[in-house]
Structure 1
Amino acid sequence: MPASTVVSVNASSSEAPALPEGVDERKFVVALARGLELLRAFRPGDTLLGNRDFVARTGLPKATVNRLAYTLTVLGYLRFDEAFGKYALDAGVLSLGFGLLAGTDTLELARPHMREFAREVGAAVSLGCRDGLDMIYLETIRSETALTLGLASGSRLSMLTSSMGRAYLAVIGGEEREALLTELALAAGGGASGAALADAARREIAAFAQQGCCFSFRDWHEDVNAVAVPFRDPRDGRWLVFSCSGPASSMGEDVFRERVAPRLRALARRLGHAR
């Protein structure tokens, strides 16, 4: 199973989780998957989550959540706040993230290029990768001379509506992409709304062959335009994505198509193997 695959474990304790095709059930540890699902329940801006929050976000039974939360607290991945009766992420999670960031040579190489890029275009430039059904920021550098919107490291973006997510979808295999788009549409609410988001992503993906990048014009946020370019990390071969975002009110579509996109494609070629 690919390292980036995330399995849905939203099943009761008496049910087996729905596993992707090709997963060997004999080797799959359900308890571990559920524990990681609990940690993934935290979103940008979340400080404390209670058992009800975990149940609502993971679909796991309350009894299972209680046991998992206790175990993760004992191991140092969660901290229980007695005053609020809720859990916060603890240092164990930080150490895991630091291991990833510290071990990413490409990130170290990219930082000075990203600073120069942000200064030149007057916007925010980010480096990210896939994490489950989201894209996660490994680094963001903002322009010092312009008002820009840039999320911090560890922030997550919708794979359907963000330029970064669309760029990642554009370079993975066709069958894998369609399966993922179906899953993303369901996660986005299903029905007509989820299908509309998936179709919008498909249109950008289809244009990738000619553009060499993917755009998001007011799709992720009503006042944010963005462009993203994928490239393979020379160190381990995984797909990383550069994105550049700025206020739609001052950086229109033409700015991103004519000025920002060519520079971002050049940056991707400089740092890795761009598609």
Structure 2
Amino acid sequence: MDDERKSTVRAVERALDILLCFTRSTELSLTEIAAAISLHKSTVHRLLATLEEKGFLTRDAATDKYRLGIRIWELSTRLPVTGEPAALLLPQMESLRDRLGETVSLYLRDGLERVRIQAVQSHQAIRRVAQIGARLPLSVGASSKVLAAYAPPEVQQQLLDAADWPAFIDKAGYIRQLEEVRRLGFAVSFEEREPGAAAVAVPIVGRSGAVAAALSLSGPVSRLSRETLANYAAVLKDAADEMGLMVP
């Protein structure tokens, strides 16, 4: 009985691992999924067939690739919005976008990554497009530095000790950057993750006194000089103070 229960739990874990592959890609082949979760293709094929039958995945016959199915959307519509920063803070984010003219994003830390949970795109012809749901490393970017700066010391150490730490980033210099973020209350980045992109980010401190999220503004370096970002940081700080009163 124990072996049967363990087998069932493993199947559930593997099915969830398959679904989590789609946090990074919208379409994946059987081979790509099998490689991502380190399972034999025959095992993955059986799990994919079940997920497809239940509506959690759908397969494009022309490309033979899988993407998320209608059941995922149905579940997402049942998410409670009360108290959720992504829903609560959207009006303030839109106001910031209209005032400053650049893309505004909201990030949460999840382990050693940041997740974009909300974004309001700039109306500018040349703009930075931010995809909601994107997962990004904590090692680079203004929002990453904000979330890492206010993370517990043990999380910061895990980040520095991670096997995928970028070799081109000096760890001692990174620690100094985090100290500077805490001193100034904001972080900036210039082409750290994307060529031609710049950003400024500030922490949103909730009513509990803990950092609830990172609020960022991003756009092309042609419009966002260091002086401009420093000026925008003051605007973002004021907005973050108001937002912090709305989240736990």
Q: TM-score range by the shorter chain?
A: 0.7 to 0.9
The residue that corresponds to 1:11 in the other structure is: none
Does residue 1:39 correspond to 2:19, yes or no?
Answer: yes
Tell me by how many angstroms 1:103 deviates: 4.5
Q: What is the root-mean-square deviation in Å for CA atoms of aligned residues? A: 3.0
Aligned residues: 239
Match of 2:192 among 219, 222, 229: 219
Tell me, what secondary structure is at the counterpart of 2:93?
helix
CA gap of 1:90–1:104, structure 2 versus 1, over 3 A, is: farther
For residues 32 and 130 of structure 1, the distance between their equivalents in structure 2, rounded to whole angstroms, comes to: 25
Pairing 1:194-213 to 2, within 5 Å after superposition = 196=169, 201-213=174-186
Amino acid of the residue matched to residue 234 of structure 2? P
* Most deviating of 240-249 and 196-205: 196-205
Among 94, 97, 122, which residue is 1:115 paired with?
94
Report the alpha carbon displacement of residue 152 of structure 1 after superposing the two structures with TM. 2.8
Q: d(CA) in 2 for partners of 1:213 and 1:105?
A: 23
Question: Unaligned 5+ residue runs, structure 2?
Answer: 1-5
Shift of 1:123: 0.9
Unaligned runs of 5+ in 1: 1-25
1:4 corresponding residue in structure 2? none
Equivalence for 1:187: 164
Task: Tell me how far 1:197 sits from its aligned partner.
Answer: 6.8
Amino acid at match of 1:172: A
1:214 partner letter? A
Find the aligned partners of 2:71 and 2:170 in 1 and give their Cα distance. 36
Q: TM-score, normalised by structure 1?
A: 0.74
Q: What does residue 237 of structure 2 align with? A: 265
- Aligned residue identity for 1:125: V
Partner of 2:226: 253
Question: CA offset at residue 56 of structure 1?
Answer: 2.7
Q: CA deviation at 1:30?
A: 4.6
Q: Determine the C-alpha separation between the residues in 2 that align with 1:32 and 1:198.
A: 38
Aligned match of 1:84 in 54, 63, 71?
A: 63
Alpha-carbon separation, structure 2, partners of 1:187 and 1:31: 28
Letter in 1 for 2:61: E
Larger radius of gyration: 2
Contact kept in structure 1, 2:82 and 2:88, CA below 8 Å: no
Say which of 69, 77, 80 aligns to 2:48.
69
Q: State the AA in 1 paired with 2:232.
A: V
Q: Secondary structure at the match of 1:157?
A: strand
